[in-house]
Structure formats: structure tokens, C-alpha cells
A and B are shown apart, each in its own frame.
Chain A
Amino acid sequence: EDKVVQSPLSLVVHEGDTVTLNCSYEVTNFRSLLWYKQEKKAPTFLFMLTSSGIEKKSGRLSSILDKKELFSILNITATQTGDSAVYLCAAQAISYDKVIFGPGTSLSVIP
């Protein structure tokens, strides 16, 4: 059965800390790994990863995929209170007919 697991489920850090969020997946005919940030409303897209070992960066956020070990990490450096959110990881099948989400990591950044 397809599944996506994230860890930790919740995390509290101080501003300026660096955090690493983990995502592992088992999805038939895997194509890509997606990261989303969810604050109060709908998830907003962060990254799509399709190739192993190639880091994607956007400001203080970066992510990498390991297709051999079936996991991905999302790093956030120099965290700010605005980074407080739930970070969702999802695995997309090659036929685009399934996008399976993990439970999310709830990140709280305190001043």
C-alpha cells in the first residue's frame, strides 16, 4: 500500500535555528516528491523533486531527494517566526493519478 511518512510530527525551535524535516515514501511507480507549506488555509507549493541528489533551493529553504533510499529532507536555515506552519510532503505517481500526502510536520518558531 502506498504511504508517506514524515518526522518529526511536531517541532519547536527558536528563531535563527536550522531545522531538518524528514520524509520517506513507498509509492508504486514513483515519479516525484512534493513539498508544501500550509499555514491557515490551502497548502502552497514549495518544491518538486524528481532526480536524486540534486538540491533545490529557494531562499533559506532547500530540499533534496534520495530515490535509492526513498526519502527526502527539507532544510530551513536561520528560521523566522513566519516559517511557523505545517510542512507537508507528498509522493506523486508516474501516471499523475495519485498524490499521496504524509501527516505533516508542525513547525513552531518562537522568538
Chain B
Amino acid sequence: NAGVTQTPKFQVLKTGQSMTLQCAQDMNHNSMYWYRQDPGMGLRLIYYSASEGTTDKGEVPNGYNVSRLNKREFSLRLESAAPSQTSVYFCASARYTEAFFGQGTRLTVV
């Protein structure tokens, strides 16, 4: 039972570089989410996808793009990384129950 798998676990980027965070779930969930977590801010929703082929903006979408490649995979792309995007990123999925989380990606932009 893999659940929700995120890669990479750690990443350091230079300002202006791009990268894609990968997320895959094997629980046949319709809904998937990307959150960022900063100290004292809880989890803030970046984008979500209610089903394959649909994506919607959350609270803090600026500077990010997403792709719901298929039902299993939901990727988050930073086109031009900025220091303000230094954070811990969590992917999650849900169907009719609670959201299940990946282990997180710690991203540092220098």
C-alpha cells in the first residue's frame, strides 16, 4: 500500500530555475490537492483537481501551474522559482473520506 507518493523529498533551486514536483496515488481517488506549509501558516491550498481533466486554483496559486495527467498523477510546476516559494509542499488525495497525504517535499530557493 503505497498511498500517496511524492518526489523529490528535498530540492534546492536557484532563483529563476524551474522544476516539477510529482505526485501519484494508488487509491483510485478522484480529488487531489497541492498544499504548501510555512511556519505558523498551516496548510495553504495551491491548486486542486476534483477529477481527471479538471484543475482549479486554491488560495495561493500565483507562480505555480498544475497538470492532472491521469487519475493517479497530479504534478505541480514552478516555472521560475522565487525565494518566496521556499516551503514544504504536500500532495494529498481524497474520495469520500479524509485526505491522505504524501510525505512532503522540502524546497529551498536560493
Contacts and interface: CB of A to CB of B under 8 A. Distances in A.
Nearest to B92: A99
A55 to B, nearest CB: 18
A99 B48 CA distance: 9
A100 B90 CA distance: 13
A98 B40 contact: no
Nearest to B49: A97
Contacts of A103: 40-42
Interface in B15-62: 30-31, 33, 35, 40-45, 48, 50, 56, 58-59
Nearest to A2: B59
Interface residues on B, range: 20 to 34
Interface of A: 6, 9, 34, 41-43, 45, 48, 88, 90, 92, 95-104
Given A45-B100, A96-B30, A100-B45, 18 more contacts: A34-B98, A41-B104, A42-B90, A43-B101, A48-B98, A92-B98, A95-B50, A97-B50, A98-B58, A99-B33, A99-B45, A99-B94, A99-B99, A101-B43, A101-B45, A102-B42, A104-B42, A104-B43
4 A-B pairs with least C-beta separation: A97-B50, A103-B42, A42-B101, A101-B43
